[in-house]
Structure 1
Amino acid sequence: MAKGIHPVDEVLPVRQMLALALQHLAVSYVGSVAVPLIIASALGFSQSETILLISATFFCSGIATLLQTIGFWRFGVRLPIMNGVAFSSVSAIIAVGTMPGVGIAGVCGAVMLGGVCIMLIAPIAGRLRRFFPPVVTGCIVTAIGVQLLPVAYQWAGGGHGSANFGNPGYLAIAMLVLIVILACNRFGSALVSNLAVLCGLAVGALVAVLFGMGDLTPVREAPWLIVPTPFEFGLPTFAILPFVTILIVMLVQTVESMGLFISIGDIVDKEVAPEQVADGIRANGLASAVAGVFAGFPFIAHMENVGLVILSGVRSRWVVALCGLIFCVVAFFPKFGAILAAVPAPALGGAGIAMFGIVAAAGIQSLAKVDYANNRYNMLIVALTLAIAFIPILSPGLLEQLPKWSQSVLHSSVVVACLVSVTLNLLLNGAGGDCDHAHHPLHRNPESGPSTDELGSMKMQANV
């Protein structure tokens, strides 16, 4: 690495960067294809229309990633963040798309207007940076990892809707992937260690296919070439109710994105200034507005890729930018994408358990650095935040009878962790965060004894 260049801004050798970018692509592809598949099915799309929608989603995902990683002017947080369609958008998009006289054209119009609104409020979001001290970001990162783990378990058991969920053969493949990832980290060279997840996926997928777990039919049926074009599903239409519905979801995603930007900055050891938060939110808005032109959806950070950044140890945003560029290219060649989609779910499960567990561990590591001895309120903030944030994961039925408008917020542990931790930190530690109050006598546990500063003062007085 060149002297004075932060690892986030480091440009790696081409071959290494390409291999690492493909690893990010393999991890994020499944999540990227799932959302358009679900929505296409709900809106009654034909097979050819579904392929077009997936292609448009990949193309827009690549553009959104390039915007966030490379950026231009005041757009892009410039961190190793892979952008994609969020699952939190699914229910709202289906609700809007099935409204009488609305359809996919109404979804496009609502997303375009919503994207413009998000760009306009970005400066306000940037000024909220000071409400995210370490005690808040640590809770958010922990919630990210724990929220993703059930997805990994689902994959390891054979995937959603599997007729033989939890089959020992599926679990064996997931375990094999974990073993390969561990072996690569323990015995491999620096490059092999960085590519441990890709190696594990490749070995697991190959063994799974040999045992008849893969389905290559979609690969054979996929067309060789397709071109994403603007307004493929007709000119967008605009109406108040669809717009308000989508905007509410995008505002919730904006809160989530703020927490993610700051948390990822902590993970890669790069301070995220308020201006950068605003730039990242502004890029999300622009990407969503562009996606509306191509029948895409609102875009935010792919949480799955955060674990890969930690596990590989490679923090370069240019690796993720190259992945975004590859996504744009893959959008034109559905057959290549179908190969990635054919990776058996158990292989993905093994990789997911490793990556998402690492994210949760990173959050715990961050929380371990929080000052609990001198500030007894921090323990309350962490305890109550995690206890409430894990409700959507551990007991989702508890919240089902609350008003429908609240479900877009309460379904996500990350959003709940963000809102609860920020609120508790404001109430208990004040607007300055936990750091300003860390050594104040009223905030210190009386049993912990004097602080370091007070001990120093005592010594000086004694010497006098």
Structure 2
Amino acid sequence: MMNTDQHPVDRVLPKRQMITLGLQHMLVAYIGAIAVPLIVASALKMSPADTTVLISTALFCSGISTVLQTVGFWKFGVRLPILQGVAFSSVGPVIAIGLSPGVGFAGVCGAVIGAGVFTMFAAPLVGRLRRFFPPVVTGCIVTVIGLQLFPVAYQWAGGGEAARQHFGALPFLCVALFVALVILAVNRFANAFLRNLSVLIGLVAGSVLACALGMGDFANVAQAPWFTMPLPFHFGMPVFSLVPVMTMIVVMVVQMVESMGLFVAIGDIVEKNISEEDAVRGMRANGLASAIAGMFAAFPFIAFMENVGLVILTGVRSRWVVAVSGVLMCVVALVPKIGAVVASTPSAALGGAGIAMFGVVVAAGVQTLAKVDFEKNRYNVLIVGFTIATALIPVMAPQVFKQMPDWTQPFVHSGVVLACLVSVVLNAVLNGAHEEEAVPAHSMVRE
């Protein structure tokens, strides 16, 4: 019998629901999970065989990192419904290290391992910042997260990068609109179980329509091998050089700041208070996952916000569902042909789902901000206004920070990091560093 006193985040659902909902999370995250290894492999001019290895190890380690964060053990894991993926902020430094003479990809692996170990030890220090994240700060962070994801959804809806001269063609937009309408229809007319799967149903229906319109491209499926085994030290023993390790440590510091904001914001979304110790466990798990990833020729990991939108849209808050998706990612990493089928999902179908998911993330942020006192505390208006205006610069006008020093680039090109820094500093200066009264959590997140 199910324990009704158990928090929805800790609830274990029936097996059928766990697998189907976990599959839904995995499908949403897959394209983002393979994007970074594809970019890095292209920039470093890797062979097709090495590219396949890089994709498999990234997926495999993403699954390990997800299980580590959701299930947790001892002092590792924030234990929230967070699906982990390769952090895009690591792309630039990884490519720079990989192209450095005398360093190569073995130096990348060493830098990732060193930075991961540093993160495990530094996590308690960063965790002390938890009290600087009251609702006005987390509301800004969640809103910015959704807003900065919109360009990704629009890119998908227009046909993706592969569309090129046909980008924005009517068939692409029709497929995206069809997926969005299916998601709305399922949420309006279907039963509770199907509502939880609305994004998966929309993606499947949209993919069928897209293939009927001639958008399906399954060439990579035939070329993908049936089985591969990610093995540690594929590119040789890690090389630990001071400059690459310090470069990656800067990236991990940025990710720790970002992760702190994400953990607190996601905790607010799923109605679970995240303490300082919870945040420390989450950052420590990121460090351990990154150290493991370095041994497998993968990269640092961070929470995928696409999946947070899925949590809000479906209302399923169970961390065990996301843990299942982590296991599925490990399985897909072992069978590249399955991954190739998933990767063949038409971009336009992803666009319709993305608009729905990212839109509800923004709505969740606005809902939190709606409960913040703007009438009696005029400083909150300034905090929100300055934070959103600054955090959207990397999205709307990335060239603004082009002349900034190289070491600042990981900070100024992440909207979430800017949102964290600006909102925390302004709140501390204008409102003081005291802990504000918690606002009621999102009513839109249902059982």
- TM-score under structure 1 length normalisation: 0.93
Shift in Å, 1:162: 2.3
Partner Cα distance (1:398, 1:237) in 2: 35
Structure 2 match to 1:440: none
Q: Please, what is the CA RMSD of the aligned residues?
A: 1.0
Equivalence for 1:336: 338
Higher-Rg member (1/2): 1
Q: Matched residues in 1 for 2:310 and 2:126: separation?
A: 27
Contact 1:425 1:433 in 2 (8 A): no
Deviations along 1:273-295, whole A, 9 cap, x unmatched?
Answer: 10000000000000000000000
Q: Unpaired runs of 5+ in structure 1?
A: 437-464
Structure 1 letter corresponding to 2:399? G
Of residues 306, 320, 323, the one that matches 2:322 is: 320
AA at the equivalent of 1:58: L
The one-letter amino acid paired with 1:432 is H
Which 10-residue stretch deviates more, 406-415 or 304-313? 406-415
Match of 2:291 in 1: 289
Instruction: Give the match for residue 203 of structure 1.
Output: 205
CA contact (8 A) 1:426 1:433 kept: no
- Give the Å deviation of 1:363: 0.4
Find the aligned partners of 1:70 and 1:236 in 2 and give their Cα distance.
Answer: 29
Within-5 A mapping of 1:268-283: 268-283=270-285
- In structure 1, distance between residues paired with 2:388 and 2:299: 30
Q: CA deviation at 1:434?
A: 4.7
Shift of 1:387: 1.1
Equivalents in 2 of 1:160, 1:251: separation in Å? Answer: 31
Aligned to 1:75: 76
The equivalent position to 1:355 in structure 2, one of 354, 357, 360, is 357
Q: Whole-Å Cα distance in 1 between the matches of residues 422 and 435 of structure 2?
A: 14
1:233 counterpart = 2:238: no
The offset of 1:404, in angstroms, is: 2.1
* Whole-Å separation in 1 of the counterparts to 2:161 and 2:437: 44
- The equivalent residue for 2:55 is 54
Equivalent position of 1:451 in the other structure: none
Aligned partner of 2:143 in structure 1 is: 142
Q: What letter is aligned with 1:156?
A: A
Pairing of 1:304-453 with structure 2 (within 5 A): 304-435=306-437
Aligned to 1:36: 37
Match of 1:217 among 216, 219, 239: 219
Rounded Cα–Cα distance in structure 2 between residues aligned with 1:396 and 1:298: 23
Instruction: Quote the Cα distance in structure 1 between the aligned partners of 2:45 and 2:349.
Output: 30
CA deviation profile, 1:365-410 (whole Å, cap 9, x unmatched): 1100101122111111111111111111122222222222211111
Segment of structure 1 superposing worse, 23-32 or 244-253: 244-253
Displaced runs of 4+ in structure 1, greater than 6 A? Answer: none
Q: Distance in 2 between matches of 1:292 and 1:402?
A: 29
Identical-residue share of aligned pairs (%): 61
Report what 1:439 is aligned to.
none
On the 8 A contact 1:42/1:94 being kept in 2, the answer is: yes
d(CA) in 2 for partners of 1:292 and 1:210? 42
**Contact conserved, 1:425 with 1:434, CA < 8 A, in 2?**
no
Partner of 1:462: none
Helix, strand or coil at the partner of 1:300: strand
Q: Deviations over 1:335-370 (max 9, x none)?
A: 000000000100000000000111011001110010
Cα deviations by residue, 1:230-258 (Å, 9 ceiling, x for unpaired): 11111110101111111111110110000
Measured after TM superposition, the shift of residue 127 of structure 1 is 1.3
In structure 2, how many angstroms separate the alpha carbons of the residues matched to 1:154 and 1:88? 19
- SS of the residue corresponding to residue 290 of structure 2 reads helix
Structure 1 residue aligned with 2:444: none
2:85 is paired with a residue whose SS is strand
Contact 1:152 1:353 in 2 (8 A): yes
Work out the CA distance in 2 between the residues paired with 1:18 and 1:108: 33
SS at match of 1:84: strand
Instruction: Describe the superposition over 1:83-140 as per-residue Cα deviations: whole angstroms up to 9, x where unpaired.
Output: 1101111111001100001111000000000000000011112211100000000000
Distance 1:39 1:24 in 2: 24
User: Counterpart of 1:455?
Assistant: none
Residue 183 of structure 2 is matched in structure 1 by 181
Report the 3-state secondary structure (helix = DSSP H, G, I; strand = E; otherwise coil) of the residue aligned with 1:381. Answer: helix
Distance across 2 between alignment mates of 1:393 and 1:332? 35
Cα offset, 1:329, TM superposition: 1.1
Question: Secondary structure of the residue that 1:426 maps to in structure 2?
Answer: helix
Aligned length: 436
Taking the aligned partners of 2:418 and 2:320, their CA distance within structure 1 comes to 31
Q: Which runs of 5+ in 2 are unaligned?
A: 439-447
**Distance in structure 2 (CA, Å) of the matches to 1:373 and 1:260:** 27
Q: CA deviation at 1:8?
A: 0.1
Give the Cα–Cα distance (whole angstroms) in 1 for the partners of residues 47 and 401 of structure 2.
Answer: 35
**Matched residue SS, 2:163:** coil
CA distance in 1, matches of 2:116, 2:5: 36
Q: What's the counterpart of residue 155 of structure 1?
A: 156
Q: TM (normalized to structure 2)?
A: 0.96
Which residue does the alignment assign to 1:458? Answer: none
- Is 1:105 aligned to residue 110 of structure 2? no
